Amino acid sequence: MDYDTIIIGGGPGGLAAAYTLADEQRVLVIENHWWGGTCPNFGCDPKKMLYSAVEARDWSARMTGNGLVGIPDISWPRLMAFKRSYTSGIPGGTKTGLNQAGIVTVDGKAQLVDAHTVTVDGQNYTADHIVIATGQTPTMPDIPGVGLLGTSTDFLDLDQLPRTMAFIGGSYVALELANIAATAGAEVHLIVHSDRLLRAFPESAVKTLIGQLKQKRIQIHENVSLTEVKAVGDQVKLIADDFELTVYRAFAAMGRSAVTDLNLDAVGVAYDHKGIHVDNHLKTSVDSIYAIGDVIAKTQPKLTPVSSFEGRYVAQHILGQTDPIQYPVIPTIVFSATKVAQVGVSLDEAKQDVTRYQVVTNNTTPWYTYNRIKDPIAQTTTIVDKTTGHLVGAVVVSTLADEMINAFTGIINQKLSSDAVNRQIYAYPTPISDLSYYY
């Protein structure tokens, strides 16, 4: 065999597997687009580069009249240059890092040949194990004129901010990018094919977020299923039954589909439209082939830290560890006109079993932490399992929800009692130093 392990896909999942294996194995990673994958090139990280200015502007707006005078404008071209100052170094830096760790890299589209062989541009490579980590790509609607729609990747690299734009979808990508565009000064529309945004989050939290989106003058069009897109001069017309909207740019944000064009059928790797099937060791239907990250069919959310966790797990398994994968609780968060985050037992589940779960919601808007930054809305819900007294779930809506949800995640995973939390001394005044008021 040429290698011990071949990894197809140089995103967070593939990289975590490669680095974990590198000390003990001959590892080859194959990437057909940008080294680093979706997250640092056209996902989480560039989005948050843009959020640096969006959050600063929002913070300034809140403090206007409270010590600040005037709200700064966002210069889109300068913000984009700031984003590119980060993203332009990712593919090269990622590849160099791999090579410096002794990992061999090949550029090109990999296809499976058999259970131990991968081919790239006519060159075959063999290994004892193959790890598929090919991620997902944006799902596009099957309607006439679909070619006129952009994707999140296009939005995150726009040279100029269109004066008017629409996002088709009502989940993470639509709500996060719509808020960036609206805060930067565009007229923004959300086209949602149902009457429920962010289905994975509690309805009450989503309602609060919608209120904040409306404050940003984002227009939400519910129950609209597009049937066609047409070019009208330099604009696009979005058409549905009893609905028409003409904007400069429109972006599909309707989910993402697993990248499975790898000759899987011929090799016998089972998959469906949700992704590649794996067992509880992340092994596919072919003994020597594993799959990790966004490309697998799973109930866990498809997120960067989940892909990395699976990458590290599969590497340890290949190196001889035999335990099945066990996921900790996984926090999810939407970065938008405010932040909505949740972890652990869901609010719906807790409300259905009131004899077991105690649900407490605090309106923290007047608390010192949130008053100091003039957060317009801050709410935290904690869910405690009455049988153990332990925190098992939390929902946070606020500007600081990212920090708080990570703190709750640690408490839940470590099964810390409320006494244990109260025995800590946290730096004060910080969001985390409020922990003892919640639990």
Ligand X SMILES: Cc1cc2nc3c(=O)[nH]c(=O)nc-3n(C[C@H](O)[C@H](O)[C@H](O)COP(=O)(O)OP(=O)(O)OC[C@H]3O[C@@H](n4cnc5c(N)ncnc54)[C@H](O)[C@@H]3O)c2cc1C
Binding-site residues for FAD sit at: 48, 294
Task: Identify what 169 binds: ligand NAD, ligand X, none; CB under 5 to 8 Å per kind.
Answer: ligand NAD
45 is a site residue for ligand NAD (CB under 6 A): no
The amino acid present at 360, given as its one-letter code, is V
User: In this complex, which beta carbon is closest to ligand NAD, that of residue 225 or of residue 235?
Assistant: 225
What element of type H or E holds 87?
Answer: helix 76-87
Task: Identify what 179 binds: ligand X, ligand NAD, none; CB under 5 to 8 Å per kind.
Answer: none
Q: Which residues pair with 95 in a beta bridge?
A: none
Task: Identify what 390 binds: ligand NAD, ligand X, none; CB under 5 to 8 Å per kind.
Answer: none
Q: Which of 95, 116, 189, 256 binds ligand NAD (CB under 6 A)?
A: 256
Annotated binding site for NAD(+): 169-176, 255
Token pair, residue 53, equals: 């200015």
Q: Of the candidates 187, 198, 233, which has an alpha carbon nearest to the alpha carbon of residue 340?
A: 198
Q: What is the DSSP string of 9-25?
A: --SHHHHHHHHHHHTTS
- Tell me how far apart the alpha carbons of residues 130 and 118 are, in angstroms, rounded to a whole number: 8
E-assigned strands of 60-157? 104-107, 110-114, 117-120, 123-132, 136-138
- Tell me how far apart the alpha carbons of residues 222 and 376 are, in angstroms, rounded to a whole number: 25
Give residues 224-253 in contact with ligand NAD (rule: CB under 6 A).
225, 253
Cβ 250 vs Cβ 162: under 8 Å? no
Integer CA distances (angstroms), 186 to 108, 182, 247, 368, 391, in order: 38, 5, 11, 33, 42
User: In this complex, which beta carbon is closest to ligand NAD, that of residue 141 or of residue 393?
Assistant: 141
Task: Identify what 307 binds: ligand X, ligand NAD, none; CB under 5 to 8 Å per kind.
Answer: ligand X
Cis-peptide, bond into residue 138, ω within 30° of zero? no
> Nearest approach, Cβ of 232 to ligand X (angstroms)?
27
User: In this complex, which beta carbon is closest to ligand NAD, that of residue 44 or of residue 106?
Assistant: 44
Give residues 332-371 in contact with ligand NAD (rule: CB under 6 A).
333-335
E-assigned strands of 233-352? 235-240, 243-247, 249-252, 256-258, 271-272, 275-276, 289-291, 332-335, 339-344
For residue 108, the SS3 value is coil
- Tell me how far apart the alpha carbons of residues 251 and 228 are, in angstroms, rounded to a whole number: 14
292 is a site residue for ligand NAD (CB under 6 A): no
Q: Which residue has the tokens 């057909």?
A: 32
9 is a site residue for ligand NAD (CB under 6 A): no
User: In this complex, which beta carbon is closest to ligand NAD, that of residue 162 or of residue 275?
Assistant: 275
Give residues 158-177 in contact with ligand NAD (rule: CB under 6 A).
168-174, 176
50 is a site residue for ligand NAD (CB under 6 A): no
Long-range contacts of 413-418 (CB under 8 A, 24+ apart): 413/328, 413/329, 415/388, 415/390, 416/390, 416/391, 417/389, 417/390, 418/389, 418/391
Annotated binding site: 48, 169-176, 255, 294
Task: Identify what 14 binds: ligand X, ligand NAD, none; CB under 5 to 8 Å per kind.
Answer: ligand X
> Nearest approach, Cβ of 166 to ligand NAD (angstroms)?
11
Q: In this chain, which residue has its C-beta nearest to ligand NAD?
A: 171
What element of type H or E holds 155?
Answer: helix 152-155
Task: Identify what 10 binds: ligand X, ligand NAD, none; CB under 5 to 8 Å per kind.
Answer: ligand X
User: In this complex, which beta carbon is closest to ligand NAD, that of residue 9 or of residue 169?
Assistant: 169
User: In this complex, which beta carbon is closest to ligand X, that of residue 308 or of residue 398?
Assistant: 308
User: In this complex, which beta carbon is closest to ligand NAD, that of residue 88 or of residue 194?
Assistant: 194
> Nearest approach, Cβ of 128 to ligand NAD (angstroms)?
31
- Tell me how far apart the alpha carbons of residues 18 and 170 are, in angstroms, rounded to a whole number: 35
Residues that bind ligand X (CB under 6 A): 8-14, 30-34, 37-39, 43-44, 47, 109-110, 133-136, 152, 173, 259, 262, 293-294, 302-305, 307
User: In this complex, which beta carbon is closest to ligand NAD, that of residue 193 or of residue 312?
Assistant: 193
> Nearest approach, Cβ of 357 to ligand NAD (angstroms)?
25
293 is a site residue for ligand NAD (CB under 6 A): no
Give residues 139-158 in contact with ligand NAD (rule: CB under 6 A).
141
Binding site for ligand NAD (CB under 6 A): 141, 168-174, 176, 193-194, 225, 253-256, 301-303, 333-335
